């Protein structure tokens, strides 16, 4: 750890601790709190909701051995957050953006596309490109979202490098239909149905269908001959179906989704200059996926055993019309050979009242077929088929004594393409009491190279089959407070990244490369407070290297130095709620030689009213009418990408039965 970087990290640590101490003193003044808070059971549960994403058992945010944020669906809706990307953007350190293909992507602590998405604890991603179904999960099916900032490799393995996002779906009885209309002929239908079985189990079904003409988008890339004022319609259509069956200790689920959007023409970004006319062509990007999961668990007084298996088929293709010729890129065999299969088991044994041992084994098979197409009558293989095997084993000791909790664990990963690695995790939590804690956390994450990065050979974009696996080592120090209907978390982080994979222009080619090691540090503040008929959420994140040109850290320039989220909702009357939220992203750039993205302010407002079983929600998005753009989160060399349209009004009608 460099001395200069370490000294700056200590300065940030001191600032964070001073801030947390001052606010803690304010919050623990019970005389003040008694006058501020009027507690209800619902409000207390909302702020003291237990999380399980960082361990195997539910526990409070102050006690869990990780930096975790959580929001439940009721909170989300009252804050005017109506999509999964809306919600994730409101978590400190998280930024949602897009790729040039039109898919959603997440940046955590200034690191893009290095998070693991879980659906009810099950990893869900494409084996070839690591795409994730952010648009494929019905919002009304979500119960809550739990997110880790920092690696989660010991429990979740590969790809949990920068963070973990767990989408926990509903299990409550009853059913609901929701219909939402908005601008650009947007129409969204959602269904949630739950039925209790006579033998003590339950079955639930959730589905959604969304279609929109989309806003007019402008792609900006001064590195190609296309005019910057060229625009296209971001027409989208997506649908999903999710079925869950639970009976005693057995769980089975199946999820299927289809997503289609108009994006920019890939030949525009990667084509040779002069090969096509200097124009912008809309392309159609599609992704289809199916996730099948089952698990069975049994337990005795001191031992719990779980075995599980899941199969994830995930297929993508792109179709473009150039010079009245239809060009298509797709996986062979219709994408049937583009899948992941995982099988494993874990055992948790309570050795004593103070000591628990967790052990597990896992095997993963990933396969991708050839990806290519017919370009002006010439068959091209953009990247060739790949087959990867990954085995891993892990163990973790969890020891508690008085006010102390200590975790020591590691995961051993052996990947036939990327080699092997040890991924340690060490956590030390000191609980001043049930409501206050301080945490010192260290963990390492690991991601093997994708098939695309290794084997792509498309025009002037060239992969490297000798790429090394990416690793990130993160150190966190955090203070947490959760009492009297208030939650406050202050944490400082430092991480070192090795062999991060990116695409770098080198002459007339753009090559996949491992970057040199680089360091980042910063801090995050997260605050939630419930008062009588009111709720306040506020968070702040700071990335010291954000928006800076650093030779060994080429993506630092794409990261905003700070982000701010602030939201307030209140009940003017018994059956009505209203509120507003504001988000700020500071200046960032996608490339020193290309367009700079100025500070972005997003202001949203909402109002909802309840009539017995019917609820009406009105949301106004982007009141300031800003042009919302982000740097491409996969290929930084292509310029900024439009994320959403201007001011829009959405009306949602929900009926419960």
472 pLDDT exceeds 70?
yes
Mean pLDDT of 246-254: 94
Nearest alpha-carbon partner for 310 in 290, 331, 294: 294
Determine which of 34-38, 176-180, 518-522, 628-632 has the lowest per-residue pLDDT on average: 34-38
Mean pLDDT of 76-93: 88
Q: Which two tokens stand for residue 616?
A: 């009406």
Distance CA 515, CA 471 (A): 11
Q: Which two tokens stand for residue 451?
A: 């098939």
Distance CA 269, CA 638 (A): 6
Mean pLDDT of 369-393: 84
221 pLDDT exceeds 60?
no
Please report which helix (H) or strand (E) contains residue 14, including its range: helix 3-27
Q: For residues 47 and 530, is the Cβ–Cβ distance under 8 A?
A: yes
pLDDT > 70 in the chain, percent: 85
User: Phi first, then psi: what are they for 492, rounded to 5°?
Assistant: -115, 140
- Residue 594 has a pLDDT of 58
Higher per-residue pLDDT: 488 or 13: 488
Task: Name the maximum alpha-carbon separation found in the chain.
Answer: 78
595 pLDDT exceeds 90?
no
pLDDT band at 17 (very low <50, low <70, confident <90, very high): very low
- Residue 39 has a pLDDT of 39
Burial 190-226 (b: 16+ CB within 10 A, else e): bbbbbeeeeeeeeebbbbbbbbbebbebbbbbeebeb
- Residue 40 has a pLDDT of 45
Supply the mean pLDDT for the chain: 84
179 pLDDT exceeds 50?
yes
Mean pLDDT of 97-116: 87
Domains annotated on the chain, with CATH: 3-656 (2.40.170.20)
In DSSP terms, 442 is beta-bridged to 426, 475
- Residue 127 has a pLDDT of 85
Residue 246 contacts by C-beta under 8 Å, 6 or more apart in sequence? 171, 201, 202, 203, 252
37 pLDDT exceeds 50?
no
Nearest alpha-carbon partner for 418 in 488, 348, 514, 334: 514
Mean pLDDT of 380-394: 90
Distance CA 86, CA 334 (A): 32
* HEC per residue, 151-218: CCHHHHCCCCCCEEEEEEECCCCCCEEEEEEECCCEEEEEEEEEEECCCCCEEEEEEEEEEECCCEEE
Put simply, whether the predicted model's pTM sits higher than 0.85 gets the answer: yes
32 pLDDT exceeds 90?
no
pLDDT band at 510 (very low <50, low <70, confident <90, very high): confident
- Residue 203 has a pLDDT of 95
- Residue 220 has a pLDDT of 59
- Residue 46 has a pLDDT of 40
């Amino acid at each position: 750890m460099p001395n200069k970087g370490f000294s700056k990290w200590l300065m940030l640590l001191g600032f964070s601790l001073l801030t947390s101490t001052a606010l803690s003193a304010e919050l623990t003044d019970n005389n003040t709190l008694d006058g501020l808070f009027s507690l209800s059971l619902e409000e207390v549960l909302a702020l003291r909701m237990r999380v399980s994403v960082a361990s195997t058992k539910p526990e409070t945010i102050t006690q869990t051995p990780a930096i975790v944020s959580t929001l439940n669906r009721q909170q989300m809706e009252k804050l005017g957050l109506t999509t999964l990307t809306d919600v994730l953007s409101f978590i400190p350190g998280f930024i949602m953006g897009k790729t040039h293909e039109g898919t959603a992507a997440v940046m955590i602590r200034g690191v893009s596309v290095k998070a693991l998405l879980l659906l009810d604890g099950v990893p869900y991603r494409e084996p070839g490109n690591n795409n994730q179904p952010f648009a494929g999960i019905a919002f009304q099916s979500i119960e809550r979202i739990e997110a880790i900032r920092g690696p989660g490799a010991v429990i979740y393995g590969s790809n949990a490098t920068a963070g973990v996002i767990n989408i926990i779906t509903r299990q409550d009885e009853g059913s609901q239909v929701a219909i939402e209309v908005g601008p650009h002929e947007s129409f969204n239908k959602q269904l949630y149905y739950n039925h209790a079985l006579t033998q003590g189990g339950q079955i639930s079904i959730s589905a959604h269908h969304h279609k929109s003409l989309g806003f007019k988008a402008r792609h900006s890339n001064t590195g190609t001959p296309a005019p910057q004022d060229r625009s296209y319609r971001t027409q989208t259509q997506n649908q999903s179906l999710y079925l869950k069956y639970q009976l005693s200790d057995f769980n089975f689920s199946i999820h299927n989704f289809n997503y289609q959007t108009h994006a920019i023409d890939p030949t525009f970004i990667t084509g040779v200059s002069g090969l096509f006319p200097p124009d912008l062509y809309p392309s159609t990007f599609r992704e289809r996926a199916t996730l099948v999961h089952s698990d069975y668990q049994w337990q005795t007084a001191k031992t719990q055993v779980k075995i599980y298996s899941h199969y994830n088929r995930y297929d993508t293709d792109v179709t473009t019309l150039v010079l009245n010729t239809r060009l298509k890129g797709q996986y062979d065999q219709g994408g049937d050979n583009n899948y992941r299969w995982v099988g494993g088991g874990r055992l948790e044994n309570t050795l004593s009242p103070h000591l628990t041992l967790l052990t597990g084994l896992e095997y993963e098979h990933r396969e991708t077929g050839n990806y290519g197409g017919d370009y002006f009558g010439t068959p091209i293989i953009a990247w060739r088929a790949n087959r990867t095997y990954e085995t891993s084993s892990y163990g973790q000791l969890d020891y508690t004594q008085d006010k102390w909790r200590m975790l020591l664990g590691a995961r051993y990963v052996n990947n036939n393409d990327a080699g092997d690695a040890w991924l340690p995790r060490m956590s030390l939590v000191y609980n001043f009491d049930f409501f206050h804690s301080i945490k010192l956390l260290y963990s390492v994450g690991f991601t093997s190279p994708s098939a695309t990065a290794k084997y792509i050979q498309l025009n002037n974009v060239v992969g490297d089959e000798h790429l090394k696996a990416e690793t990130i080592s993160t150190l966190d120090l955090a203070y947490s407070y959760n009492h009297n209907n208030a939650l406050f978390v202050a944490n400082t982080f430092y991480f070192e990244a090795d062999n991060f994979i990116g695409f770098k222009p080198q002459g007339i080619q753009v090559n996949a490369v491992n970057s040199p090691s680089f360091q980042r540090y910063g801090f995050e503040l997260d605050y939630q407070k419930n008062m009588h008929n009111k709720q306040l959420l506020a968070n702040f994140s700071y990335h010291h290297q954000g928006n800076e040109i650093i030779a060994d850290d080429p993506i630092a320039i794409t990261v905003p130095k700070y982000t701010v989220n602030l939201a307030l909702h209140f009940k003017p009357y018994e059956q009505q709620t209203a509120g507003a939220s504001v988000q700020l992203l500071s200046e960032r750039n996608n490339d020193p030689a290309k367009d700079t993205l100025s500070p972005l302010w997003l202001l949203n407002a909402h109002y909802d009213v309840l009539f017995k079983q019917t609820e009406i929600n009105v949301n106004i998005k982007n009141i300031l009418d800003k042009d919302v753009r982000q740097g491409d989160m996969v290929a930084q060399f292509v310029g900024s990408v439009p994320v959403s349209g201007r001011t829009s009004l959405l009306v949602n009608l929900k009926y419960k039965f």
